[in-house]
Amino acid sequence: MFIGAAGALLVIAAVLTFVGLRDQIVYFVAPSELAEKAQAGQRIRLGGLVSEGSLQRDGDGAVRFDVTDGVQTVSVRYEGLLPDLFREGQGVVAEGVWNPGRAFEAQRVLAKHDETYMPREVAEALKQRGEWKGAEAP
């Protein structure tokens, strides 16, 4: 009886841990994978290149820009200071929430920090689509 109760408590603890951690997991997707891999309201990391000519500053302090992987383009809205190295045509990872029909709402924006760095997932997605312009080894 004691072993059964201990086993049940262990299962309950494991389920509660999984449910708690599930909300903390953030998946990486490229713009062309967004519709098939992400659910509305899900926190994700969107990675690709900042589209040339897409950077706009709203009157309310928000910034809008497009992220592309060469196949699809996703509009991003971000309230905050962009990293110093943020540039159009360069790699970016935006972490936030996706809601279909609206801009991707980023809470965090990361830019590559030197000429050779690119997040591995971004580089692989761009290479698969023939858009990779950086060094061979990400």
DSSP 78-113: EESPPPTT--TTSEEEEEEE--TTS-EEEEEEEE--
Pick from 9-13, 88-92, 133-137: least confident: 133-137
pLDDT band per the 50, 70, 90 thresholds, residue 115: very low
* For the chain, domain boundaries: 26-128
In angstroms, the CA 70 to CA 19 distance is: 35
Residue 103: pLDDT above 80?
A: yes
- Summarised one tens digit per residue, pLDDT across range 28-85 is 888 988 877 778 888 889 988 899 999 999 888 899 999 998 888 999 999 999 998 8
Q: Which residue has the higher pLDDT, 137 or 87?
A: 87
- What CATH architecture does domain 26-128 belong to? Beta Barrel (2.40)
Which residue is associated with the tokens 């994700």?
44
Structure tokens at 135: 């060094």
pLDDT band per the 50, 70, 90 thresholds, residue 95: very high
Cβ atoms of 74 and 67 closer than 8 Å: yes
pLDDT band per the 50, 70, 90 thresholds, residue 138: very low
Q: Which residue has the higher pLDDT, 1 or 94?
A: 94
∠ Cα 94 100 103 (to 5°) = 45
